[in-house]
Amino acid sequence: MVDTETGELWERSLGTRARRSTAFLSSTPGQTVRVGIEAVGNSQCLSRCLVRDVGTKLWIGDAAQIRGWLVRLQKTDRRDAKQHSGSATRRTVSTVVVPSTQMRDVRQLLRHRQKLVEIRTQVKNQLQHLALNQGVRRKRRLWSVQGRAVLEQLPLQGWTARRRSDLLAMLDRLEEQVGELDRAVRTEAEQRPEVRLLMTHPGVGPVVGLGVCADDWPDTRFPRGKQVPVTWA
């Protein structure tokens, strides 16, 4: 911790529980406290408690930039804390964009749908291999009504037949879940004017349009005419 008025620096270990951090910060009433943390995963609980329960100013630094300042390759929590406190005092490190709670929820919708689509693809690939081992080669036509009938009538025995029935049941369940999420994504996209504008471009649907807007980028972060990758977590 650094006192910006006196320049005094002291250390204290608060552990990994957000409850201890909030209790310690709550013991400093009447003081303006700015908390700096490194951008890491699974830190939403800590940041939510600091902002909502304590009312501190949360400062999330760019982890790559902070790590680049360290000359020694040895990396410890104590050294990271000292480097972070110094950079926060001098304001020499750029902060990362923190999305709103609503935008985080939209990202979870997109991430959940993406994971289920990946699982559905894995299930379909397994069923395709079962069909290929029986001399059936239909590619995408395997998922039509006629292809499904052929898949169910394959002369399989024992655990191979059990595997087919389980995979078909999983596929039906996944199709239902993905369809429900698709409708939720479209509903969310239609409520946002910027997403509807993106969907007017050829090839841009609700998933891509909502994914671009879910990154919550500032207007000045990227120059015009540059290609930008779309990711969400």
Q: What is the rounded CA–CA span in Å between residue 115 and residue 205? A: 18
Task: For residues 137 and 202, state if they share a domain.
Answer: yes
The pair of three-digit structure tokens given for residue 14, joined into one six-digit string: 């608060």
Give yes or no: residues 153 and 183 share one domain: yes
Both tokens of 172, joined, read 């039906």
**Are 110 and 189 found together in one domain?**
yes
pLDDT at 194 over 80: yes
At CA 47, angle to CA 214 and CA 11, rounded to 5?
Answer: 145
Confidence (pLDDT) at 222: 46
In a domain, 219, yes or no: no
Share of the chain above pLDDT 90, in %: 36
- Segment 170-180 shows an average pLDDT of 96
Q: Is the Cβ–Cβ distance between 90 and 2 less than 8 Å?
A: no
Among 40, 66, 90, identify where a domain stops: 90
Is the same domain home to 111 and 187?
A: yes
List the domain range (segments joined by +) for residue 65: 18-90
| 85 and 115 housed in the same domain | no
Residues 141 and 72 in one domain: no
Residues 128 and 149 in one domain: yes
Residue 8 counted as domain residue: no
**159, two tokens:** 């655990």
Same domain? For 37 and 119 the reply is: no
Which ranges of the chain would DSSP assign to H, the alpha helix?
A: 18-26, 44-48, 63-69, 77-90, 101-132, 145-152, 158-190, 193-198, 206-214
More confident residue, 138 or 28: 138
pLDDT score at 158: 93
Domain membership of residue 156 (yes or no) is yes
**pLDDT tens-place string over residues 109-163:** 999 999 999 999 999 999 999 999 999 898 899 999 999 999 999 999 999 999 9
Contact 61, 87 (CB under 8 A): yes
User: What is the C-alpha separation between 66 and 36, in angstroms, rounded?
Assistant: 12
State the average pLDDT for the chain. Answer: 76
Overall number of domains in the chain: 2
Long-range contacts of 173-177 (CB under 8 A, 24+ apart): 174/116, 174/119, 174/120, 174/123, 175/120, 177/116
- Least trusted range by pLDDT, from 20-24, 42-46, 160-164, 180-184: 20-24
Same domain, 114 and 208: yes
Residues 79 and 123 grouped into a single domain: no
226 within some domain: no
Residues 48 and 80 in one domain: yes
Band (pLDDT 50/70/90 cuts) for residue 7 is low
Compute the average pLDDT of residues 195-221: 79
Give me the mean pLDDT over the 82-110 stretch.
69
Answer whether residue 220 shows pLDDT above 50.
no
**Residue 6 falls within a domain, yes or no?**
no
